[in-house]
Chain A
Amino acid sequence: MRIKLLLLATAVGLLIPVTSALAHHAFAAEYDEKKPITLTGTVTKVEWMNPHVFFYIDVKDAEGKVTNWRGEGGNLSTLMRRGWRKDSLKVGETVTIEGSLAKSGQPLVNARTVTRADGQKLFAGSAGGEEIR
Chain B
Amino acid sequence: MNHRYLALILIALLAAVSAWAQSRPLPRTPDGKPDLGGYWNLPEALRFNGNLAQGKEDEVPYTPEGRQAFLNRDAADDPTAYCLPPGMPRMLHSPFPMLIIQSPGLVAELFEYQKIWRLIYTDGRPHHADVTDTFMGDSIGHWEGDTLVIDTVGINDRSWLDTEGHQHTADIHLIERVMRTAPDTLHYEVTVIDPKYYSKPWTHAGDMHPIEATKGLPELLEYFCNDNEQDSKHFVETKDHLPNKK
Contact = CB atoms under 8 A, between A and B. Distances in A.
Interface of A: 16, 18-19, 21, 23-26, 28-30, 47, 49-52, 54, 72, 75-78, 80-81, 102-104, 106, 108, 131-133
A76 B49 contact: no
A104 B223 CA distance: 27
A51 to B, nearest CB: 5
Contact of B232 (A25, A50, A81): A25
B138 to A, nearest CB: 25
B214 A19 contact: no
Contacts of B231: 24-25, 29-30, 51-52, 72
B47 interface: yes
Contacts of B163: 26, 132
B133 interface: no
Contacts of B51: 133
Given A23-B96, A77-B221, A30 B235 contact: yes
Interface of B: 43-44, 47, 49-51, 74-76, 78, 80-81, 83, 94-96, 112-113, 163-165, 214, 217, 221-232, 234-236, 238
B220 to A, nearest CB: 9
| Chain B CB within 10 Å, residue with most, of A50, A76, A106 | A50
A115 B198 CA distance: 47
Contacts of A49: 227-228
| Chain B CB within 10 Å, residue with most, of A18, A52, A75, A80 | A18
Contact of B81 (A24, A54, A76, A77): A24
B223 A76 contact: yes
B234 A24 contact: no
Contact of B234 (A19, A28, A76, A106): A106
A47 B234 contact: no
Contacts of B226: 51
B234 A51 contact: no
Given A18-B44, A23-B95, A26-B75, A103 B236 contact: yes
22 contacts: A16-B43, A18-B49, A18-B95, A19-B95, A21-B95, A23-B94, A23-B113, A25-B78, A25-B81, A26-B50, A28-B75, A28-B238, A29-B235, A30-B236, A49-B227, A49-B228, A50-B223, A50-B224, A51-B228, A104-B234, A104-B236, A106-B234
A25 B160 CA distance: 11
| Chain A CB within 10 Å, residue with most, of B164, B225, B232 | B225
Given A51-B223, A51-B229, A133-B50, 12 more contacts: A19-B43, A19-B96, A21-B49, A21-B50, A23-B113, A25-B80, A50-B224, A52-B228, A72-B231, A76-B222, A80-B221, A81-B217
A100 B165 CA distance: 22
Contact of B83 (A24, A72, A75): A24
Contacts of A80: 214, 217, 221
Which 4 pairs show the lowest CB-CB distances between chains A and B?
A: A25-B81, A49-B228, A26-B75, A29-B75
